[in-house]
Amino acid sequence: MSAFESPDFDHHETVAFFDDKASGLKCIIAIHSTALGAACGGTRVYPYANGDAALTDVLRLSRGMSYKNAIANLPLGGGKAVIIGDPAKDKTEARLLAYGRAVNALGGRYITAMDVGITPADMPVIARATKFAAGFDMPGKPAGDSGPPTALGTFVGLKAAIKHRLGADSAKGLTVAIQGLGKVGGTLAKQLHAEGAKLVVADVNADAARKAADAYGAKIVPVDEIVTTECDVFSPNALGAILNDKTVDKIHAKVVAGAANNQLARDEHGAALKARGILYAPDYVINGGGIIRVAGQIFEWSDAEVERRVLAIGDTLTQIFKRADQENKPTNVIADRIAEERMAAGGKSTAQAAE
């Protein structure tokens, strides 16, 4: 299957295939849009079953980054890279360097960061071969850890959602079910507990759940029950596609607001949530703190500027919620529309500047 024939091809500007015989590197870098700036997105290392599966993933992910960067008002376009291989055994220094050279060959049109299978220890190796890398700690650069800003953006986004749907100025007294207690979910639990929320938690790591129970008085439920547990707010911070045909009709929450990527199994599940009166905070909007941190490194913004932009996630969501009400559309549809409008306006500005 060629890129043009893929059902996920969305007029991507560039889809580049790299095959480095000496190192064994096989990777695809997809640039979806540079209307707002250089394409930026993480690198994923995964043992794809075949090249078609890798192509499908990189096309979807790169398009998603265009929308995420646009909705966060960042001067960045959308791109993504996938390296075909098992990160546990195929991620050699030679391949990482070859990958860095592949990024460099695009001349700055794509800036890479971390995703599944790439660790903070890998990024300096990649950066030896290209300067177009960000999202990790570098001497003389702003901090690269995306966890804290992602958690902060999710917290203010959740509060914007409960304000709009429940009329509450804080989470005090509300029951929030948190799925996933990693860097983001764990920090979110701490923030919500401090505000007086009642927590219900679930994590595949039993120790993480027990720590939340001990520290915050959280109730632990099995992982397969957290989505449908009795609560005011459901906050998915682990698996994707958690909002699907099996779960949407059984959700008790009035608000869904969490940092997990690709929460809707399909776009129409956003409409299904709306039909049930459940307010959904679009995932790529509420979890934008991480890419804002990466942008802060690229453009050397101060910590105060990064925080200002992260806190603005709440205002962005409020605008989406209000417009969704006015137009009687699902929130995910409105978020996509706003992102598309910004990319179109950016593309026009770029074209006019070139004339």
For the question of residue 254 being annotated catalytic, the response is no
Whether 237 contacts 185, CB under 8 Å: yes
DSSP single-letter state for residue 276: T
Whether 30 contacts 14, CB under 8 Å: yes
Task: Please state the length of the chain.
Answer: 355
Distances (CA, A) of 347 to 21, 255, 336, 350, 353: 37, 35, 16, 5, 10
Instruction: Kindly name the residue from 26, 68, 80, 254 that is annotated as catalytic.
Output: 80
Rounded Cα distance, 126 and 107, in Å: 15
Whether 337 contacts 270, CB under 8 Å: no
Helix %, strand %, coil % for the chain, to 5?
Answer: 45, 15, 35
Buried b (16+ CB within 10 A) or exposed e, 245-267: eebbeebebbbbbbbbbebbbee
Rounded Cα distance, 304 and 236, in Å: 28
Write out the catalytic residue numbers.
Answer: 80
